[in-house]
């Protein structure tokens, strides 16, 4: 297991850069990961991140369809907020495991 430093905070990550201990997550850590992913976080980003963290804590499986139906953001906005690979980027920034649906 590797560690990565985000804003002066060391966190445990796997070989793909996803945090392995979500209890180490903070908004400061999220901002550091977002910078690495080329995402500038806004309040709306944190609404989506909070939704993701809550769903994962509840044991839900994350999908883009589920994000679209969340009432927090629609699919088009989700792709704009986390360009390229929205589910991968958003979950990495949220400090949760990579969804099984992501390859």
* Chain segment 48-78, per-residue pLDDT in tens: 999 999 999 999 989 999 999 999 999 999 9
Q: Which two tokens stand for residue 65?
A: 């369809």
Contact predicate 81/16, CB 8 Å: no
If one counts the domains in the chain, the total is 1
Q: CA 49 to CA 30: how far, in whole Å?
A: 9
Q: Note whether residue 103 is domain-resident.
A: no
Q: What is the pLDDT of residue 68?
A: 92
Q: Which residue has the tokens 């939704």?
A: 51
Q: What is the pLDDT of residue 103?
A: 61
Contact predicate 90/34, CB 8 Å: no
- pTM across the whole model: 0.92
Q: CA 97 to CA 7: how far, in whole Å?
A: 21
Catalytically active residues, by annotation:
102
Per-residue model confidence as pLDDT tens digits over 17-52: 999 999 999 999 999 999 999 999 999 999 999 999
Q: Note whether residue 48 is domain-resident.
A: yes
Q: Note whether residue 99 is domain-resident.
A: no
Supply the range of the domain harboring residue 37: 2-94
Residue 66, C-beta contacts closer than 8 angstroms, at least 6 positions apart:
55, 60
């Amino acid at each position: 297991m590797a560690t990565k430093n985000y804003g002066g905070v060391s966190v445990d990550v796997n070989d793909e850069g996803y945090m392995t201990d979500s209890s180490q997550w903070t908004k400061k850590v999220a901002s550091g990961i977002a910078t690495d992913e080329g995402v500038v976080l806004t309040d709306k980003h944190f609404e989506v991140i909070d939704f993701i963290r809550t769903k994962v804590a509840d044991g839900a499986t994350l999908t883009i369809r589920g994000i679209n139906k969340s009432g927090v953001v629609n699919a088009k906005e989700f792709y704009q907020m986390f360009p390229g690979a929205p589910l991968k980027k958003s979950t990495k920034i949220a400090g949760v495991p990579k969804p099984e649906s992501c390859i």
